């Protein structure tokens, strides 16, 4: 099972950033990176702009400007936040494509690993065990 529609993708894959930005420990670190990251999800299709400097997550058009960009299937995004996707290996297999300010993006990766428990807890709390990897 996967996400039913774009709203669900936004709710969970965008929501985890919103939650992280509100986190006392991780929030300030994320803001400090000042990165604007565009995440382009496919199937269901939706593009989210994560503006870490401003602390905002918004749904945008795929052509929106950003500092860095990541493209992946929404399913891959769901697995990523559960700690099941190894980024370099996924990039090598073409499952995750990155462009733009890759150096900053890569610095973000270890921070996002800390969010895995929160993401899994959210799925469980919402009874979305169908999304658990």
Among 6, 60, 64, 91, binds another protein (CB under 8 A): 91
Residue 63 contacts residue 93 (beta carbons within 8 Å): no
The alpha-helical segments, DSSP class H, found in 10-101 are 15-22, 26-33, 74-80, 87-92
Among 24, 25, 110, 129, binds another protein (CB under 8 A): 110
Q: CA angle at residue 17 from 61 to 120, to 5 degrees?
A: 120
Among 5, 7, 84, 113, binds another protein (CB under 8 A): 113
Among 26, 64, 73, 87, binds another protein (CB under 8 A): 87
Among 45, 56, 62, 86, binds another protein (CB under 8 A): 86
Query: Minimal distance in Å, beta carbon 1 to another protein?
Result: 24
- Cis peptide leading into 63, omega within 30 of 0? no
Regarding 63 and contact with another protein (CB under 8 A), the answer is: no
Regarding 93 and contact with another protein (CB under 8 A), the answer is: yes
Cα distance between residue 108 and residue 35, in whole Å:
9
Cα distance between residue 19 and residue 34, in whole Å:
17
Query: Minimal distance in Å, beta carbon 46 to another protein?
Result: 25
Query: Minimal distance in Å, beta carbon 98 to another protein?
Result: 9
Cα distance between residue 106 and residue 82, in whole Å:
18
Site residues (vs another protein, CB under 8 A): 86-89, 91-93, 102-103, 106-107, 109-110, 113
């Amino acid at each position: 099972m996967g996400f039913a529609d774009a709203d669900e993708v936004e709710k969970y894959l965008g929501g985890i950033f919103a939650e992280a930005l509100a986190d006392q420990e991780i929030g300030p670190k994320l803001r400090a990176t000042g990165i604007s990251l565009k995440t382009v999800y496919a199937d269901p299709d939706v593009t989210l702009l994560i503006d870490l400097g401003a602390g905002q997550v918004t749904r945008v058009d795929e052509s929106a400007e950003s500092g860095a960009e990541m493209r992946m299937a929404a399913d891959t995004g769901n697995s990523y936040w559960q700690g099941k996707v190894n980024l370099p290996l996924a990039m090598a297999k073409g499952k995750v494509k990155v462009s733009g300010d890759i150096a900053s993006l890569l610095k973000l990766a270890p921070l996002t690993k800390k969010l895995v428990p929160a993401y899994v807890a959210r799925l469980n709390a919402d009874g979305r065990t169908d999304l658990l990897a």
